[in-house]
Structure 1
């Protein structure tokens, strides 16, 4: 029997590690990812200001997986009903049970010129490109625009603003954060939004809410209320499914199954939990979803190995969305929400460092912890 994990982001790595512990030895576990490394995605914005962070947040898969076969190849298409994936090298990978953990890609919403002229922030090389372009802005003066004020946009704007201060640019550098809704961090509680707004303003980020982007060219962004010249344009305005899933993020059942043989986990899916609550796309949710899927895969695999798979409905565990809070870095500061309480300042920054170090420890990348903690504290 073969169990395939397609993608090794937060959901994929967490799931593969749990399956290595839970599934019987005769079951083959295959992990497929286009990269031989796992990226700690929620820290990639740090590379804009601290390039050395890239080493701390890049984990070789072979170092954090034991028995799984690792296939380094891009997944081009997944047939979730038939149970196979087409890979970029032309091979087909068949599986008895699988989990699509391919994450999501930047959504440019077919806005004319935006994909062509804006830089996304999904990979280390994106952060490096943003840094290189922004250093030119710092040297000569100008405007950097971040489209989208979700957590990724907030963190990007915070890094740019703090980098400009550190560089003590002799020419004026403006950081503008655009959001189509009426607040920054629009998916989060109001008191969290206010704290994030205040942290951005303290770093001289100009915040424009209720300001949708219409289109862009190489020099200007057209907004609903005029045009905005720019020297650097970063787009963090939303996500879509990967091309392997036809650009879709399918809705999955509360046990996170899409079909009888295929689960879809993390940002690759739009999930409703056991209470019917929509699950937001986040690292925390993806990791916790992986725990539920690992238990469900263990149940169905053992039922089939025991001969109970035919005509026997295995009882599946529903996923319940329970996140203790949220945390976001804003340049050299942070905002955290724990329960109803919002924390800023050194306490929030310490919490952010703890979260990053705790994640690395949880995936057995202990040697990376000191590197990340040093980089966080230096930030």
Structure 2
């Protein structure tokens, strides 16, 4: 019996570590990832201003797993009929059960010129490119335009505003959002607090503004053109190559079929209450725990070969997180239940959550480094 976990982001690492404990000893567990490290994605924006944080948020996969075999390669295709996963090096892997945890890629929505001229932020190399471009083009003035005011766009804007202030630069930072508010997927009180923090940082916010085209130096929108010196795109999440650049819809059991699950940002999930699940690290981690149990149950049933019994019914995933936290430069906004926190209280919560995650995967020294970076900026 062979179980594949595709991707080693939050969902993949959580799922594989749980499967290491719950799968029968006779089952093979393989993790496929395009890099030998696990990236703590929600801290990548920090590397724009503090490149040294890279060591704290990039964890070797060999240190995270005890039992799983790690294959370093890029997944290029998934053949569910043949139950095979195709890899960039030309090989393929057969599976009995598979969890697709490949995350999402930057979605440019086919807007002319955006993919060609904008910088994304998905990896450490992207953070380094943004930092380099800022020092090349923006420390003596100019304009940075950020497309998208979801949590990623908000964090990028806050980090660049803080970097601008550290460098005493006269740079304008403009966030564009097609919808009517920043952080549009979240509760109104959280949205208002995020907006206030951005404004306090000196970030200009333009909501209800649709990007229609980008050239080498201008963003064309339905409310007017904006000349820029650096364009960053955080406008949406697209699917991976292996999923035909789509994020397939899945129900609360998170299954594409009886043998194939999709977890985290790789899918558009609806939970047990029929509610859409927002793309977030906390949701991905909780989804992964449900899927790990369901796969382990299915494998144990198959190995017992008790054909007279009904197979175990998969547990559904129900979206339930205690709150939300977003960094904005040297500050943060947190929501816990109905309460909103800003400033030092929210920043302390952010440090605690980040360190707590690193501790759960055994990266204690990196957790200490992350807390120091968060609280002593």
TM-score, structure 2 as length reference: 0.98
Q: Is the 8 A contact 1:104 1:241 kept in 2?
A: yes
Equivalence for 1:26: 26
**Runs of 5+ in structure 2 lacking a partner?**
none
Equivalence for 1:360: 358
Using the alignment, how far apart are the partners of 2:309 and 2:95 within structure 1?
20
Alignment of 1:209-358 (within 5 A): 209-308=207-306, 312-358=310-356
Give CA-to-partner distance per residue, 1:271-330, whole Å, 9 cap, x none.
Answer: 111111111111000000000001101110000011136873321111111010000000
Give the root-mean-square deviation of aligned CA atoms.
1.0
Equivalence for 1:89: 89
Q: Is the 8 A contact 1:11 1:289 kept in 2?
A: yes
Using the alignment, how far apart are the partners of 1:75 and 1:310 within structure 2?
37
Q: Is the 8 A contact 2:138 2:229 kept in 1?
A: no
Give CA-to-partner distance per residue, 1:7-47, whole Å, 9 cap, x none.
Answer: 11110000000000001111000000010000000000000
Q: Is the 8 A contact 1:81 1:262 kept in 2?
A: no
Q: Deviation of residue 77 (structure 1)?
A: 0.2
Give CA-to-partner distance per residue, 1:80-131, whole Å, 9 cap, x none.
Answer: 3331100001001000001000000000000000000000000000001001
Q: Is the 8 A contact 1:213 1:221 kept in 2?
A: yes
Aligned residues: 377
Q: Is the 8 A contact 2:331 2:344 kept in 1?
A: yes
**Runs of 5+ in structure 1 lacking a partner?**
none
Equivalence for 1:202: 200
Using the alignment, how far apart are the partners of 2:137 and 2:154 within structure 1?
19
Equivalence for 1:2: 2
Using the alignment, how far apart are the partners of 1:126 and 1:54 within structure 2?
12
Q: Deviation of residue 378 (structure 1)?
A: 2.5
Deviation >4 Å, runs of 4+: none
For residue 271 of structure 2, give the secondary structure of its aligned residue in structure 1: coil
Equivalence for 2:373: 375
Residue 190 (structure 1) aligned with residue 177 (structure 2): no
For residue 19 of structure 2, give the secondary structure of its aligned residue in structure 1: helix
Using the alignment, how far apart are the partners of 1:358 and 1:67 within structure 2?
23
For residue 176 of structure 1, give the secondary structure of its aligned residue in structure 2: strand
Equivalence for 1:53: 53
Q: CA 1:310–1:206 in structure 2 vs 1: closer, same or farther (change >3 Å)?
A: farther
TM-score, structure 1 as length reference: 0.98
Q: Is the 8 A contact 2:182 2:195 kept in 1?
A: yes
Equivalence for 1:38: 38
Equivalence for 1:123: 123
Using the alignment, how far apart are the partners of 2:126 and 2:67 within structure 1?
32
Using the alignment, how far apart are the partners of 2:138 and 2:351 within structure 1?
28
Q: Is the 8 A contact 2:105 2:240 kept in 1?
A: yes
Equivalence for 1:151: 151
Q: Is the 8 A contact 2:139 2:164 kept in 1?
A: no
Using the alignment, how far apart are the partners of 2:223 and 2:299 within structure 1?
57
Equivalence for 1:136: 136
